[in-house]
């Protein structure tokens, strides 16, 4: 029987107070994992703990900046002391800045790279020794369709997510012999509170132009839900994926496979 159970596993999901990270962590918990998560400040951590509690999940939350190696090392040590050694890491924390490249400052570009690429490197580096010692581990990087495609105003994000795709492949290459699998999930356009303004019905009853664009580009003809990412995450976190390594699983409703509808 294929084993999708995560019973007895400890999963660290970064930036998982809300949104995609929260949905994935909740799905891992339903499969049996013990959830630990971090966020950038105490207010977000408190909101996350309350949200998990409301969902019936006993999650441990910690304040930690994933770009700060000292904080990350302290976080991993604290988790090992209070909960146990991390079996599953989901590198979910990330930001996006939608600014035309010629208007983007170097400081803004570096901030996106630091959180979206350097952060996963730092956190992965911190948990890998424990995984090597245990003889198993799962690392899942939240990539993006921008790991494959370019688009106006997201130069830093695309650069970071493209780099994260290759970091995923390299971790798989370097640590596969230790029974550590590193894969990525590339979400498509997901319906979250942050994207809600892009899906609002216009005063004349029509779709928002960006909403129409996404629907036309997606064979599934809809936005994804955060829950659409749960099954892929559980699969990649479980023993069912023990021979899957260095793969990016795009959960995009088929966008990357599709040239798009012909204009009428």
The catalytic residue positions are 157
Write the DSSP symbol of residue 201.
P
CA atoms within 13 A on the CB side of 145: 17
> What phi and psi values does residue 18 have, to the nearest 5 degrees?
-160, 180
Strands 137-142 and 180-187: parallel
Distance CA 140, CA 123 (A): 11
**CA distances to 39, 189, 212 from 259, in Å:** 38, 16, 15
Distance CA 90, CA 233 (A): 9
> What phi and psi values does residue 132 have, to the nearest 5 degrees?
-60, -40
Decide: 70 and 45 in contact? Cβ < 8 Å.
Answer: no
Which residues, other chains included, contact 251 with Cβ-Cβ below 8 Å and sequence gap of 6+?
Answer: 185, 186, 187, 188, 224, 228, 229, 232
């Amino acid at each position: 029987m294929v084993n999708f159970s995560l019973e007895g596993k400890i999963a660290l999901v970064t930036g998982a107070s809300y949104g995609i990270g929260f949905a994935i962590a909740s799905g891992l918990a339903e499969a049996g994992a013990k959830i630990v998560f971090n966020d950038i400040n105490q207010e977000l951590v408190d909101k996350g703990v309350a949200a998990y509690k409301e969902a019936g999940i006993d999650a441990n939350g910690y304040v930690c900046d994933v770009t700060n190696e000292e904080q990350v090392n302290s976080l991993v040590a604290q988790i090992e002391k209070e909960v146990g050694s991390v079996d599953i890491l989901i590198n979910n924390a990330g930001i996006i800045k939608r600014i035309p490249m010629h208007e983007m400052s170097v400081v803004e570009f570096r901030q996106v790279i630091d959180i979206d690429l350097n952060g996963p490197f730092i956190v992965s580096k911190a948990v890998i020794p424990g995984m090597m010692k245990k003889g198993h581990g799962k690392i899942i990087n939240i990539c993006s369709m921008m790991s494959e495609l370019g688009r106006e105003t997201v130069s830093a994000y695309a650069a970071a997510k493209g780099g994260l795709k290759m970091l995923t492949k390299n971790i798989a290459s370097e640590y596969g012999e230790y029974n550590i699998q590193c894969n990525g999930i590339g979400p498509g356009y997901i319906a979250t509170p942050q994207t809600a303004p892009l899906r609002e019905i216009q005063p004349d009853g029509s779709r928002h132009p960006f909403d129409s664009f996404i629907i036309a580009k997606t064979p599934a003809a809809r936005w994804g839900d955060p829950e659409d990412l749960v099954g892929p995450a559980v699969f990649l976190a479980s023993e069912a994926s023990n021979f899957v390594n260095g793969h990016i699983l795009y959960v995009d409703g088929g966008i990357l496979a599709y040239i798009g509808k012909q204009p009428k």
